[in-house]
Structure 1
């Protein structure tokens, strides 16, 4: 039997339908792979968790639901699109069982279209995290984020992370996160991502965004960087994770891009599976 890959998601009830699409795409493109899904949440109803578990059994995914009841990050800044659950990924070393040594964190607004195993097997080279940088044709945003968060490193997107959970237990401290929130709260545009970059960008290994965190809004930038290689055929053969950052989300019916069509295809296949 192949080694099971640990996945981490942190979300509320509203994102469960999109989580299902993401996990279905993962299964479809990793058919022989076993997964353990660690779901950290505050108040997802039991009936919703039962429905999720029924689906995941069809997908060779074992569900481990952990309800956070001690109000971690109760005073952390949140906005409508970013609920408190987003902070749980930073505290995964504290919240996950000791036998969990490594996880892949995935946002729910994602499709997995190729094998994820190479990410799981990646050498972190002593770092706590591996993540991608969504760099533009210029590096202006890096300079702005360095000034805003008082860092000198690249600004990492936290939507896809490989995490050394054992090392995170040593490095990631809640008191450090609390102090950062108190000090920079008014300047946190994407609160958990900003906190991660401020505190832990120096222990984050950069991985290819074109492969591991392909921002579907930015395909023209990717193509412009390398017109010969970054076409749709290259994406189909090499990209593993499509990330639907920002708006409009593909499930709203307003994302009529080439990638929105791919999302609708997986959504339709999932609907057929759930009806059987």
Structure 2
């Protein structure tokens, strides 16, 4: 199994937690690839020690952030680093034909084997329907020339078909799109990928990219405020990957998203935190436990 992350040093602390959540729930022998936009040696050693201790390997691939410094950044919580994945086919070894891409702001709660085994031979990528864009930002789709019949996907969890990426020359095509739509790419490379990959996306069960907006829509459905959910919003339980996209991240003290407590739990495993940190974690855990029980029995989300 091959897994790709993109990170700078600012996000390295959160990257470690995401990686630890993966190896806690998956078999040995994972090959991690990290597009490295300036991660400090100390943080790289920490990541390598954790990964190697679980019988897997990590490969840091240096990326020059200056390649993307002229690219638009219109939302403060979306890093410039995300553009680096547009060069996945260029930076990754030629013998890789597919790879799971994950944003740093994810936690994994179950095996990724089902995701890894998705057949993407006839697609450029597998990804999940983005209910936030589809239901709350539909005008944005129009601004980037996507029709109502084309479904916007979230790029935080994807399974790349690298053979098809190489054929398309994704990065060159991305440059053309940025020149064509200089002010419309609000969601950065996610918009670019949605335009380039239209009609070549395998839509996944949303259990593989469970986002805050998806939880809210399920809650609204159970409360009778939504008559139905789109077929592409299907979320089979249990959730495999929770994606804390948006301005509230799992590492924020006031974040109340699904299973967010596990971020602090995993961080404590890694850092062996102080007594004070453990007391704070217990308080957080009790609140999170109540939310988890409510989500499971009231909304069938777990």
TM-score when normalising by structure 1: 0.85
Residue 121 of structure 1, CA deviation: 0.6
Q: Distance between the aligned counterparts of 1:185 and 1:106, measured in 2? A: 26
Q: Among residues 55, 63, 66, which one is paired with 2:50 in the alignment?
A: 55
Select the structure of larger CA radius of gyration.
Answer: 2
Task: State the Cα deviation string for residues 73-94 of structure 1 (Å, max 9, x = none).
Answer: 3421135433332112122011
Residue 70 of structure 1, CA deviation: 8.3
Contact 1:142 1:154 in 2 (8 A): no
1:156-167 paired onto structure 2 within 5 Å: 156-167=153-164
Task: State the Cα deviation string for residues 160-205 of structure 1 (Å, max 9, x = none).
Answer: 0000111110013322111211221211211111111122132211
Q: Distance between the aligned counterparts of 1:154 and 1:237, measured in 2? A: 23
Q: Distance between the aligned counterparts of 2:171 and 2:151, measured in 1? A: 23
Contact 1:217 1:244 in 2 (8 A): no
Contact 1:130 1:163 in 2 (8 A): yes
1:41 aligned residue: 36
- Three-state SS of the structure 2 residue aligned to 1:250 is coil
Q: Distance between the aligned counterparts of 1:186 and 1:99, measured in 2? A: 36
1:251 aligned residue: 251
2:23 aligned residue: 27
- Three-state SS of the structure 2 residue aligned to 1:86 is helix
2:63 aligned residue: 68
Residue 144 of structure 1, CA deviation: 1.7
Contact 1:9 1:106 in 2 (8 A): yes
Q: Distance between the aligned counterparts of 1:70 and 1:143, measured in 2? A: 31
Q: Distance between the aligned counterparts of 2:222 and 2:88, measured in 1? A: 37
Q: Distance between the aligned counterparts of 2:22 and 2:120, measured in 1? A: 22
Residue 57 of structure 1, CA deviation: 1.4
1:217-256 paired onto structure 2 within 5 Å: 217-225=213-221, 237-256=237-256
Q: Distance between the aligned counterparts of 2:121 and 2:221, measured in 1? A: 28
1:175 aligned residue: 172
Contiguous gaps of at least 5 residues in structure 1: none
| Deviating more after overlay: 97-106 vs 51-60 | 51-60
2:146 aligned residue: 151
Assess, with a 3 A threshold, how the Cα gap between structure 1 residues 96 and 252 changes in structure 2: closer, same or farther.
same
Task: State the Cα deviation string for residues 110-136 of structure 1 (Å, max 9, x = none).
Answer: 110011011101012500101111226
Contiguous gaps of at least 5 residues in structure 2: 224-228, 230-234, 274-302
Tell me the matched-pair count: 261
1:37-116 paired onto structure 2 within 5 Å: 37-69=32-64, 71-78=66-73, 80-116=76-112
- Three-state SS of the structure 1 residue aligned to 2:61 is strand
Residue 100 of structure 1, CA deviation: 1.3
Task: Give structure 1 regions of 4+ aligned residues with deviation exceeding 6 angstroms.
Answer: none
